[in-house]
Amino acid sequence: MMGPAHSLSGAMAWLGVGAAAAAADHAMPWPVLVAGTLICAGAALAPDLDHKSATISRAFGPFSRILAGVIDKLSSAVYNSTRGPRDRRRSGGHRTLTHTWIWAVLLGAGFSGAAILFGRWAVLFTLFVHMVLAVEGLLWRMARVSSDVLVWLLGGATAWIVAGVLNEPGNGSNWLFTDEPYAWLGLPIVLGAIVHTLGDSITISGCPMLWPLKISGRRWYPLGTPSFMRFRAGAWVENRVLMPAFVVIGAVSGVAAGLLTP
């Protein structure tokens, strides 16, 4: 799928988690619901950092372009060194390492660990990165006609405001993990990356999300829906069916989360 659909699916997923958490008597304070939705929307773009033309690879100027090149080479090296007997050798790393659930969990754990160890500045960095990505994904067309600096300023201002709100007593810094402030920050990051892989699994290429499990002699087996149900990224089914569905499901979930919160 393309960037806007990935971001919308991430936002929808966290709003769904918010509704489920409220139903299970672990309701999110509203700042956690809002912040998590934006983080998850941004994180749903993260797996494509292995592709130099992806939204995330352009989002932070030269830094993200250089990082995308490094991740591409790392992914390619991991793929070729772990491939199964039926996996073909590859020269590029797109849709390999960063499109696995192991990568998603490690990424989320890393951001949570940084928040626990380094406190406010790590929280601000996490929020800034994902706010910028959320703007790039959810406001894709408008973000593309503006300058990167304006998007960074918007992301930075949003991160500063959200961090200040979350830090107020009762607003969610200790949600779910009462003894470790902001430990929950990794959850929407993991979820966003997983939702991205699920979105890619319904496109023609599929997605090797379960690496390193061997399936039919392949470590990098591209899981997905039956072939007749798949489509090309950016096709009409993505823009006219899936994206409106993500908006509706997300809105219903958000309302449900609000109504179920005491």
pLDDT at 144: 57
Burial class (CB in 10 A: 0-12, 13-18, 19+), 209: buried
Dihedral of CA atoms 239, 259, 10, 248 in degrees, nearest 10, equals -10
Give mean pLDDT, residues 181-208: 95
pLDDT at 194: 97
Residues contacting residue 55 through CB under 8 Å, at least 6 positions apart: 3, 45, 48, 133, 136, 137, 140
pLDDT of 146 above 80? no
pLDDT of 145 above 60? no
Work out the pLDDT band at 140, boundaries 50, 70, 90.
Answer: low
For residue 43, how many C-alpha atoms fall within 13 Å in the half-sphere facing its CB? 30
pLDDT at 143: 55
pLDDT of 232 above 90? no
Give mean pLDDT, residues 18-33: 92
Give mean pLDDT, residues 80-95: 92
> What's 261's DSSP letter?
-
Cα 134–140–145 angle (5° rounding)?
Answer: 125
pLDDT of 184 above 90? yes
Percent of the chain predicted with pLDDT > 70: 96
Taking residue 73's Cβ as centre, other Cβ atoms within 10 Å add up to 13
**Cβ–Cβ under 8 Å, residues 116 and 174:** no
Percent of the chain predicted with pLDDT > 90: 69
Give mean pLDDT, residues 227-241: 84
Bridge partners (DSSP) of residue 218 are 215
- Write down the mean pLDDT value for the chain: 91
Helices 243-260 & 3-23 angle (0-180, nearest 10): 20
